[in-house]
Amino acid sequence: QVQLKESGPGLVQPSQTLSLTCTVSGFSLTSYNVHWVRQPTGKGLEWMGVIWTGGSTDYNSALKSRLSISRDTSKSQVFLKMNSLQTEDIATYYCARDPDTTGIPTGYFDYWGQGVMVTVSS
């Protein structure tokens, strides 16, 4: 059974770094790519980036200077770190699986985590 679950602090202070973990089960990170997508409350979805099965990454250019995605395959975990958080980063953050198994992301998402709400406030 494929599952993804995000975890991390719900509150981050302005200018600080957000650290989130996506723990997956039912599939291997060496077989499937995992993306991060965020959604401000009541608004649309923004693709943030992806970590490929081989460990390389691709980021949304709008966030690239602040964003890092990494993983620990032995723990089936994908990590998101984003620095210099501001109020415009208030959102629900999702990790999602790419259905491709060839290593090249299809760019759409067949399984999503439940999401983690992040607020930026002092």
Partner 1 sequence: DIQMTQSPASLSASLGETVTIECLASEDIYSNLAWYQQKPGKSPQLLIYYANSLNDGVPSRFSGSGSGTQYSLKINSLQSEDVSIYFCQQNYDSPYTFGAGTKLELK
* Sites of contact with partner 1 (CB under 8 A): 35, 44-47, 58, 60-62, 94, 99, 106-110, 112-115
CB nearer to partner 1: give 74 or 88: 88
Least distance CB 21 / partner 1 (angstroms): 17
Least distance CB 107 / partner 1 (angstroms): 3
* End-to-end CA, the chain: 39
Residues with Cβ within 8 Å of residue 57, at least 6 apart in sequence: 49, 50, 51, 68, 69, 70
CB nearer to partner 1: give 79 or 112: 112
Least distance CB 116 / partner 1 (angstroms): 11
CB nearer to partner 1: give 14 or 118: 118
Do residues 54 and 81 lie in contact, with contact meaning Cβ atoms separated by under 8 Å?
no
Least distance CB 99 / partner 1 (angstroms): 8
CB nearer to partner 1: give 19 or 60: 60
